[in-house]
Amino acid sequence: MSVQPVVSPAEDKAMARAIELAARGLGTTSPNPVVGCVLLDAHGIVVGEGFHAYAGGPHAEIVALAQAGERAKGGTAVVTLEPCNHTGRTGPCSEALIHAGVARVVIAVTDPTPRATGGAERLRASGMDVVLGVRASEAEDGNIAWLTSVRRERPYVIWKSASTLDGRAAAADGSSMWITSEASRIDVHRLRGTVDAIMVGVGTILGDDPRLTTRDLRTGSLAIRQPLRVVVDSQGRTPVDARVRDAAAPTLVATVATFGKGPDGRVDLRAVLAELHHRGVRSVLLEGGPKLAGSFLAAGLVDRMIYYVAPKLLGDGPAALVGAGVTTITDAIDLDVLDVDRIGPDLRLTAKLRSPTKEA
């Protein structure tokens, strides 16, 4: 049994708040992590809060220290990720905490990057009291895309799909518009705003000609920040006038000619993910279609699934998933269901793969 770190009720409450703050940076901090920080004075009163809002901007600790001023001296910094110990586009947060006279630092998750790690050691060496592992699982889940990307050197992949209750992604005549409700479609655009890239196969481009942008469905206005659009297109069939090629957002068309062939003779998915990681993409929303999703699942490259189920029945029509490499029930891909929510009339199921991935 692991020993739980000892913290005060005020520190525990502050970490819960820091995790909430960190989430505000989802979608805007890559290639950096999301981080939240709460500063308590010597009496346990909150005197500063901050989160990392965008890459190159001040880190969460710096924002919180600026709010706290002299009140940080002798106090406690509660932070979701180990304070950095290197100079990049900003200075090391460990030195800023030492300079401010903070007496204690409570950390949820240690930093796995070789260049930034060492903050906890530096703080201890300065005489500061350092506690690790407070609400670690919650903080890790909130920063899971960045942590996975750093550990595996490829983006965190979320497969988003939608179907009727009987698993149909479209009707027998091919029509697929509005399977789910407007509430679910709004929710998907919110989800798009939290990732660095949106990926589909060429079949989705040829069949639906989507824009793959993040926008307000009520007004049609585009969000200020747009994820990279990625089309997996083995033979380069994406039309020059496809909407995905417009100027609304950057687009990468991944072909065999540029990324080589994978084991299935189509685009090498691992090579595509490696290039995205090199570009600073830490999270990918895999939206379509069923064959591409099957290839990702068969390769063990899906980390999380978000599935919208509409209360409709079709009886016939294309399945939501094809070619996942399962031929018998004993090989079924098991899921751990993390959450089930009602979105308008639909259900949204969030799950992670239970079975070990092929890259483990």
pLDDT tens across the length of the chain (360 residues): 456 788 999 999 999 999 999 999 998 999 999 999 999 999 999 999 999 999 889 999 999 999 999 999 999 999 999 999 877 666 789 999 999 999 999 999 999 987 767 899 999 999 999 999 999 999 999 999 999 999 999 999 999 999 999 999 989 987 777 799 999 999 999 999 999 999 999 999 998 999 999 988 778 788 888 999 999 999 999 999 999 999 999 999 999 999 999 988 999 999 999 999 999 999 999 998 899 999 999 999 999 999 999 999 999 999 999 999 899 999 899 999 999 999 999 999 999 988 554 554
Q: Confirm or deny that 93 is annotated as ligand binding.
A: yes
Task: Report DSSP letters for 103-132, one per residue.
Answer: -EEEEEE----TTT--HHHHHHHTT-EEEE
pLDDT at 189: 93
Q: Quote the CA–CA distance of 149 and 273 in Å, as a whole number.
A: 10
- Selecting among 11, 61, 70, 82, the annotated active-site residue is 61
pLDDT at 357: 47
Task: Report DSSP letters for 273-306, one per residue.
Answer: HHHHHHTT--EEEEEE-HHHHHHHHHTT---EEE
pLDDT at 3: 65
pLDDT at 303: 96
Positive or negative, the CA dihedral 246, 252, 256, 258 is positive
Q: Confirm or deny that 286 is annotated as ligand binding.
A: no
pLDDT at 355: 57
pLDDT at 56: 87
- For 154-353, CATH gives 3.40.430.10
Residue (of 184, 275, 279) closest to 232 by Cα position: 275
Q: Confirm or deny that 287 is annotated as ligand binding.
A: yes
Q: Confirm or deny that 290 is annotated as ligand binding.
A: yes
Cβ within 8 Å of residue 178, ≥6 positions away: none
Annotation says 11 is catalytic? no
Q: Which fold has domain 9-148?
A: Cytidine Deaminase; domain 2 (3.40.140)
Give the C-alpha distances (Å, rounded to integers) separating 236 from 197, 233, 239, 259: 19, 5, 8, 12
Q: Confirm or deny that 357 is annotated as ligand binding.
A: no
What is the C-alpha radius of gyration for the chain, rounded to an integer number of angstroms? Answer: 22
pLDDT at 285: 98
Domain(s) of CATH 3.40.430.10: residues in the chain: 154-353
pLDDT at 85: 87
Q: Confirm or deny that 234 is annotated as ligand binding.
A: yes
Domain(s) of CATH 3.40.140.10: residues in the chain: 9-148
